[in-house]
Amino acid sequence: MRLFIKRKEFVLILVFLAVFILAACSSKEVKPAAEGGKLRVAAAIFPAWDWTRNVLGSNPAGMELTLLVDNGVDLHSFQPSVDDILTISNADLFIYVGGESDQWVTDALKQANNPNLKILKMLDVIGDAAKTEETVEGMQTEESEDEDEAELDEHVWLSLRNAAVIIDAIAGEFSVMDPENAGTYRENASAYKQKLSALDEQYQKAVDAAEIKTLLFGDRFPFRYLVEDYDLSYFAAFSGCSAETEASFETISFLSRKCDELGLPVVLTIDGSDQKIAQTIIKNTASKGQSVLVLDSMQAVSAKDIREGVTYLSVMEKNLDVLKTALEVG
């Protein structure tokens, strides 16, 4: 683990060196903000990018919107490319989470050397709604985990209610950056928030009608904000940002026992799982009839997925269907 981080840091240094050299060699690469009247927005992760796209609507000011993490690699392993640093150098607004998996941002911002850059940090925007990472019964803890240092749970985008708050903040930023079109941004935001709240109601209705109120993950668990919105409980093999991939015998048998005890029909995984842990859990239950379903946490959405029409709302709609099966809704 330690070694891995050191290697990552080394790669970062290389990237920064490359940016420095590029910037020094061709001054036209680093443009002053808003050159040519175009406002540039960079979003670190897919959900923020998609929300921003909806707030911009038909793009009144000719705003340029870039998504940084779009290569389909889990965002916990993201390393910025030279292009990514340049995108931040040239941006007027940068939107990111501010959690465990984007520690690269601090260095990237330093390197981008862009004093006019406005920053929207999603964890700050949701304020008191931010939760600390939690370890529940049966969850495997990491050896490297510092017990007395409670980190904020970064997966804020998995709550439809958080999304609405962040979208308002994005619209607010645009209204300042481009006051002429402030009304349009507000209207776009409110139209999109109506879709979110309609979906939120459907989630609530499903949970109210559910036989079962517990989710079980044979995987990492980034869905704390979602389950707390609807008062669900959960069990999981690992916490949200865990780098563990192997579950211990204790973890597996605890989760298998919970499946049997609670009569759960589904063992969940997140996007990108090889499902081995989930299958092992099922193999060790008495009934063995559970199915494995994926609740998509949008941590590895790729440019190709986006081209094929994946949106934040489409993923959350699909997740609702999975939830209905897992909770045995009517």
Binding-site ranges for Zn ion (CB under 5 A):
101, 154, 240-241
Q: Considering the complex, state which of residue 98 and residue 240 has its C-beta at the smaller distance from Zn ion.
A: 240
Which among 103, 99, 120, 108 is positioned nearest to 51, based on CA atoms? 120
CB of 104 to Zn ion, least distance (A): 13
CB of 242 to Zn ion, least distance (A): 8
CB of 129 to Zn ion, least distance (A): 17
Q: Considering the complex, state which of residue 86 and residue 97 has its C-beta at the smaller distance from Zn ion.
A: 97
Q: Considering the complex, state which of residue 100 and residue 328 has its C-beta at the smaller distance from Zn ion.
A: 100
In the complex, residue closest to Zn ion by CB: 241
CA angle (116 as vertex; 28, 186 as ends), nearest 5 = 115
Asked whether 286 and 316 are in contact (CB, 8 A), the reply is: no
CB of 155 to Zn ion, least distance (A): 6
CB of 29 to Zn ion, least distance (A): 32
Q: Considering the complex, state which of residue 84 and residue 154 has its C-beta at the smaller distance from Zn ion.
A: 154
CB of 284 to Zn ion, least distance (A): 27
Q: Considering the complex, state which of residue 152 and residue 329 has its C-beta at the smaller distance from Zn ion.
A: 152
Q: Considering the complex, state which of residue 171 and residue 298 has its C-beta at the smaller distance from Zn ion.
A: 298
